[in-house]
Homo-oligomer: A and B are copies of this chain.
Amino acid sequence: MQGTMLYGPRDIRFEDRPEPTITKPTDAILRLSATCVCGSDLWPYRGIAEMKQPTPMGHEYCGIVEEVGKEVRNIKPGQFVVGSFATSDNTCLICKDGYQSSCLQREFMSAAQAPLLRVPLADGTLVATRDLPPKELIASLLATSDVLGTGWFAADAANVRPGRTAVVVGDGAVGLLAVLSAKQMGAERIIAMSRHGPRQKLAREFGATDIVTERGEEGIARIKDLTKGMGADSALECVGTQESMMQAIRSTRPGGFVSYVGVPHGVELHGEQLFYAEVHLHGGPAPVRRYLPELIGLVLNEKSNPGRVFDLMLPLNQVADGYRAMDERRAIKTLLRP
For residues 204 through 259 of chain A, which have their beta carbon under 8 Å from a beta carbon of chain B?
A: 228-230, 240, 242, 245, 253-255
How many angstroms between the C-alpha atoms of A35 and B99 in the bound complex? 45
Q: Is the interface of A mostly helix, strand, loop or mixed?
A: mixed
Q: Are A276 and B285 in contact (CB under 8 A)?
A: yes
> Looking across the interface, which residue of chain B has its beta carbon closest to that of A269?
B269
Residue with the highest number of chain B CB atoms closer than 10 Å, among A228, A230, A240, A265: A230
Taken residue by residue from 254 to 274, chain A's Cβ proximity to chain B (1 for < 8 Å, 0 otherwise) reads as 110000100111111111101
Taken residue by residue from 56 to 99, chain A's Cβ proximity to chain B (1 for < 8 Å, 0 otherwise) reads as 00000000000000000000000000000000000001100111
Task: Return chain B residues, CB-CB under 8 Å to A93.
Answer: 228, 230, 253
Task: Return chain B residues, CB-CB under 8 Å to A240.
Answer: 271
Task: Return chain B residues, CB-CB under 8 Å to A314.
Answer: none
Given pairs A99-B255, A280-B281, 19 additional interface contacts (CB within 8 A): A93-B253, A97-B255, A99-B278, A102-B254, A104-B230, A242-B271, A260-B275, A263-B275, A264-B274, A266-B271, A267-B270, A267-B271, A268-B269, A269-B271, A274-B281, A275-B285, A278-B283, A280-B282, A281-B282
- Can you list 9 A-B contacts with CB-CB less than 8 angstroms, sorted by A residue number? A99-B254, A99-B255, A254-B284, A255-B287, A260-B275, A275-B283, A276-B285, A278-B284, A281-B281
Interface of A with B (CB < 8 Å)? 93-94, 97-99, 101-102, 104, 228-230, 240, 242, 245, 253-255, 260, 263-272, 274-285, 287
